[in-house]
Amino acid sequence: MRREERSSFALIVVVIGVLCASGCASRATRGEGPEVLPVVAVTTFENKSGFAGQWQLGSDMADLLVSELVRSSRFVVVERQHFQGLVNEIARQQQTLFRPEGRIASGRMKGAQYMIRGVINDFSQSGGGSLSVLAKRIAFLGRGHVARVSLTLTLVAIETGEIASSVQSEGAVRTGEAYVAARYKGVAFGGELFFKTPLGAATREAIESGVRQIHEALPTTPWRPMIAEIADGKIIVNGGANHGFREGTLFSVRRSARPITDPATGDVISVLPGTRVGTIRIDHVREKIALASIVDGEGFERGQWLSREEPESPTRR
């Protein structure tokens, strides 16, 4: 089955991608146009490796995955492991004990599209020796030792509850006859010293491989121009110089597309394009927004879709 067919959400993405004709200048890594970054959340990992030591592998490995997802700049990552702390702080700020200046507004939290849960299958060092603690040092003794870390990362589409993908990622680092990484008490999971150990290097390799595979497994969502607001007789569009908008460009405006679902399964099987509202012309371009005026039509509203028309001719001015 193709990646785009893994969920109802993915099917909507495909059809929208066909309908989209924004004419923007920027290009995405995998698609023909700019993409909306997927919003993901990470839950605590389940440790099935049999390792029991100074590190809390379940929560620690999840934190490393979050860090790498953010570092990759390919995802929007929202907090879920310590979510209740955020909720408590927002509720606390609504109390009269706190000044209104700088108060965080409620109802602004971003929802995740995908949940990533992980399983640690292997976290070990094997071969012609063993992992030992000698004189408060971590030592890998013997020949041909290999540190291995194996993870299973499962992506769940929150909207449907379907498993969008499950990826296997591994890291393996071979050690020499004797390897002493650092003082045992000084090695914190995910710290600088940790990544200098064979198990740390194998962990980094497994995490980076997992993030690459997650990026490839998720369906793409094409960004499209839309009406963001209408103020003082001007149409405000949700893109500007950052998406290659130019003054004088004409856009056809349509209402949002309507998904068609299978009455037997509830799955989205097609999408009906929205009815045409009218035409707007870009008059002024800023960094992230553009101001437009109405050329023809009526009933313009926030959230309506735009598709580029042919360049304006003198007869239409």
Residue at 11 is within a domain = no
Is residue 245 domain-shared with residue 159, that is, in the same domain? no
Whether 19 maps to a domain, the answer reads: no
- 165 with 306, same domain: the answer is no
Instruction: Give the span between the Cα atoms of 137 and 255, in whole angstroms.
Output: 66
Q: Are residues 41 and 189 in the same domain?
A: yes
Whole-prediction pTM: 0.74
Query: Does one domain contain both 195 and 234?
Result: no
Q: Which of the listed residues 182, 217, 252 is the one where a domain comes to its end?
A: 217
* CATH code of residue 276: 2.40.10.410
Distance, in Å, from the CA atom of 126 to the CA atom of 130, rounded to the nearest integer, reads 6
Q: Domain of 117: which CATH number?
A: 3.40.50.10610
**Number of independent structural domains in the chain:** 2
- Name the 3-class secondary structure at 240: coil
The span from the CA of 114 to the CA of 6, in Å, is 13
pLDDT in tens, the chain (317 residues): 444 444 444 333 333 443 333 333 333 345 456 888 999 999 989 999 988 777 888 899 999 999 999 999 999 999 988 888 888 888 888 888 888 888 888 888 888 999 999 999 999 877 644 444 444 444 444 456 788 999 999 999 999 899 999 999 999 988 764 444 333 356 788 888 888 888 889 999 999 999 999 999 998 888 999 999 999 889 999 999 999 999 999 999 999 888 898 998 888 888 888 899 999 999 999 999 999 999 999 999 999 999 988 654 555 44
Domain enclosing residue 291, as ranges: 227-316
Does 63 share its domain with 130? yes
